[in-house]
Structure 1
Amino acid sequence: MSLLNREVFWPPADELTEVAERIRARLGEWPAAETRWRVCLTAPESPSASDLIVVTEHDDSIESGNAAVLEAHGGRVALRRGGERFALEGEWSDDWLAALAAFLDCNFEPHDALTLALAWRAGDENKDDAWPVDFATFPRVADLPAAPEGGFPACPDRLGLYPVLPGAEWVERVLDLGVRTTQLRRKSTDAADLQREIARSVEAGRRHDAQLFINDHWREAIAAGAYGVHLGQEDVQTADLGAIVKAGLRLGLSTHGYYEMLRALHFRPSYLALGAVFPTTTKVMPTKPQGIARLARYVRLLSGRVPLVAIGGIDARVMPDVLGTGVGSAAVVRAVTDAPDTASAVSLLQQMFTSQRENV
């Protein structure tokens, strides 16, 4: 691997490139970057979609075209890209631009590479493990609404096997098989159907003293007295988190990388879902699959801070690798709902979690 054989910075900056190469060499093997990003220290005459233009003060006059813009000043860095804005604040090292180039070369999206770059500290490349693992060095996501007062109730640190199921009948069947954490993901716009399925699922959860989460439909979950709700990143903008806290429900939040993890942690959820680990056909994903190597890094950073759930394309074949990261829970969909024998599939998956606990 070498960054020196291509244009990493514009105008060319040999010293920065050498530092970036030194950092990249210590980060280990990662898939080749799908985009050859160029960090522009001044705006080029013809910006491209693979350019990240760095400015040290707010300037709306910059002709960025399809390029992304990084505004870095006043203890804040904001990335503007494709109509989205990612704002971070905190302290960072003088090497952050070199680190940004290195993490971009590890195939991280710009907002995640930026998060890692701001967490990087000079001299980290001399450690046995050069990857940023100290949560205290990570930046904070800026411009977020206040987290609800009181915080969400805690849930078990290791939620174990976590089937995500399409209906109450499935919830009842899986809970009868001994599963104690599950989620109802009901894809319906029929209000009566939702109310009926959620109420039936919540009742099944109560009978089995299980952790039953409702996907998306937080109002109905509150009305039914569910154990918890699971929301996506976009739902945080519209859901009444204060009402969920007041009702005593747990909250799980989906995340798809470092930036979204930090954003989600601001709201102090009961657990974080990390995904999609592998390609999945059960829903359209906004990001490419994370893979085992990234999952392991996420678990190392966040373990002990919040319960973690791996999700996305997980089945019995890959479950040992997933549990090998140390994650305390793994959500499955088709591994249960498409199994020829539901009881056998659940039993096999449960045994894997039992083996993990015995080996911890």
Structure 2
Amino acid sequence: MSLLNREVFWPPADELVEVAERIRARLGEWPAAETRWRICLTAPESPKAGDLIVFTEPHDADTERLASGGAAVLEAHGARVTLRRGDERFALEGQWSDDWLAALAAFLDCNFEPHDALVLALAWRAGDENKDDAWPVDFATFPRVTDLPPAPDGGFQSCPDRLGLYPVLPSAEWIERVLDLGVRTAQLRRKTNDVAGLPREIARSVDAGRRHDAQLFINDHWREAIAAGAYGVHLGQEDVQTADLSAIARAGLRLGLSTHGYYEMLRALHFGPSYLALGAVFPTTTKVMPTRPQGLARLARYVQLLSGRVPLVAIGGIDAQALPGVLATGVGSAAVVRAVTEAPDTASAVSALQQMFSGQC
């Protein structure tokens, strides 16, 4: 857990390292960082992978050259911070403490990606290390994501704060089968090249949802979901750039958004979604994930920050064995796939999973 005896800042900055060490000591046990980031307080002649180059004053440096070879560039001017890493750009606004660079080193050491470590560092306040729980959990201190399109006027319809068991299913036949077993939240995630048959599958699923008075979400296919009058749609982060969120809101559909860490949660909240999906909690084989598994410790911190602000759904690799630990974080819903679709006895599996939610208020 020690930051000492290795190059954390370049040029060396003993005072910053000492503050970073104090902060890190109060953050608890986290997996060892996969990348040993070096925070460069001045631009090195030959940037390398793992360099995070920081500019706190206007400059004329060639940031594209500096960001080549795996380095990242962070510019903090006024109330705005921009992080560039490869082709990705992360823009934040807010107020931060004088200790933010030391906090950044500490959160990087907790194995957070630079954009998520940056969010936490900007939310850190001097003196937080003296609290019983030093982790940033006051939403008011967190920065906001900038350079986003406006959220739809009027926002999205709300959904229950606790959506409970949330099977994600591949067909209308599966939707009907599971809703018949008493499940009241489900998602159709239809991955198919059968474009002609897709509207029929969605309409059939939506009809089943209406018969059971269930919250039926459609994954990705928002146009067809609107046409069928679905309860809601679920979109990924990349879909926010291409989907007509205003059309979804005008149609009265709920919106669920996938997130994979602090930055994406703040970005998603800008659009006022009906719920946030937090994942992937564990490794999953049902789809290729853009980020490493989050784990229960991170999930618990996400729930602590966002509970009561927006309904939350844990997702990714959750089965009957893992579900009690997931629910212990306080999250109000958990999405499952193979725990239902690959169960030897669907009815027994659904009943057992439902029972695990019965103790939640």
Following TM superposition, by how much is the alpha carbon of 1:193 offset from its aligned partner in structure 2, in angstroms?
1.3
Query: Residue 284 in 1 paired to residue 285 in 2?
Result: no
1:116-135 alignment runs, 5 A limit: 116-135=120-139
Q: Which residue of 1 aligns with 2:182?
A: 178
Which residue identity lines up with residue 118 of structure 1 in the other structure?
A: L
Q: Secondary structure, in 3 states, of the residue corresponding to 1:282?
A: coil
Query: Residue 233 in 1 paired to residue 234 in 2?
Result: no
Could you tell me which runs of 5 or more consecutive residues in structure 2 were left unpaired when the two chains were aligned: none
Please list the CA deviations of residues 115-153 of structure 1 after superposition, one character each: whole Å capped at 9, or x if unmatched. 000000000000000000000000000101100000000
Q: Secondary structure, in 3 states, of the residue corresponding to 2:157?
A: coil
1:258-337 alignment runs, 5 A limit: 258-337=262-341
Give the whole-Å Cα distance in 2 for the aligned partners of 1:71 and 1:97.
Answer: 12
Q: Secondary structure, in 3 states, of the residue corresponding to 2:83?
A: strand
Which residue identity lines up with residue 61 of structure 1 in the other structure?
A: D
Following TM superposition, by how much is the alpha carbon of 1:100 offset from its aligned partner in structure 2, in angstroms?
0.2
Q: Which residue of 1 aligns with 2:30?
A: 30
Give the whole-Å Cα distance in 1 for the aligned partners of 2:96 and 2:236.
Answer: 29
Query: Residue 167 in 1 paired to residue 168 in 2?
Result: no
Please list the CA deviations of residues 262-319 of structure 1 after superposition, one character each: whole Å capped at 9, or x if unmatched. 0000000000000000000000000000000000000000000000000000000010
Q: Which residue of 2 aligns with 1:21?
A: 21
Contact 1:58 1:71 (8 Å CA) reproduced: no
Which residue identity lines up with residue 45 of structure 2 in the other structure?
A: E
Which residue identity lines up with residue 355 of structure 1 in the other structure?
A: G
Please list the CA deviations of residues 91-113 of structure 1 after superposition, one character each: whole Å capped at 9, or x if unmatched. 00000000000000000000000
- The two structures have a TM-score, normalised by structure 1, of 0.98
What percent of counterpart residues are identical?
86
Give the whole-Å Cα distance in 1 for the aligned partners of 2:59 and 2:213.
Answer: 54
Give the whole-Å Cα distance in 1 for the aligned partners of 2:248 and 2:193.
Answer: 21
Query: Residue 195 in 1 paired to residue 199 in 2?
Result: yes
1:319-358 alignment runs, 5 A limit: 319-357=323-361
Following TM superposition, by how much is the alpha carbon of 1:49 offset from its aligned partner in structure 2, in angstroms?
1.2
Q: Which residue of 2 aligns with 1:61?
A: 62
Give the whole-Å Cα distance in 1 for the aligned partners of 2:60 and 2:133.
Answer: 38
Give the whole-Å Cα distance in 1 for the aligned partners of 2:356 and 2:199.
Answer: 34
Give the whole-Å Cα distance in 1 for the aligned partners of 2:360 and 2:158.
Answer: 22
Q: Which residue of 2 aligns with 1:109?
A: 113
Q: Which residue of 1 aligns with 2:76?
A: 72
Q: Secondary structure, in 3 states, of the residue corresponding to 2:53?
A: strand
Following TM superposition, by how much is the alpha carbon of 1:59 offset from its aligned partner in structure 2, in angstroms?
3.6
Q: Which residue of 1 aligns with 2:2?
A: 2
- The two structures have a TM-score, normalised by structure 2, of 0.98
Query: Residue 11 in 1 paired to residue 15 in 2?
Result: no
Cα distance, 1:110–1:200 mapped onto 2, change above 3 Å: same
Which residue identity lines up with residue 186 of structure 1 in the other structure?
A: R
Which residue identity lines up with residue 16 of structure 1 in the other structure?
A: L
Cα distance, 1:223–1:40 mapped onto 2, change above 3 Å: same
Could you tell me which runs of 5 or more consecutive residues in structure 1 were left unpaired when the two chains were aligned: none
Give the whole-Å Cα distance in 1 for the aligned partners of 2:39 and 2:324.
Answer: 39
Which residue identity lines up with residue 217 of structure 2 in the other structure?
A: F
Aligned-residue RMSD, C-alpha: 0.8
Q: Secondary structure, in 3 states, of the residue corresponding to 1:355?
A: coil
| Number of aligned positions between the proteins | 357
Moved over 6 A (4+): none
Give the whole-Å Cα distance in 2 for the aligned partners of 1:117 and 1:23.
Answer: 10
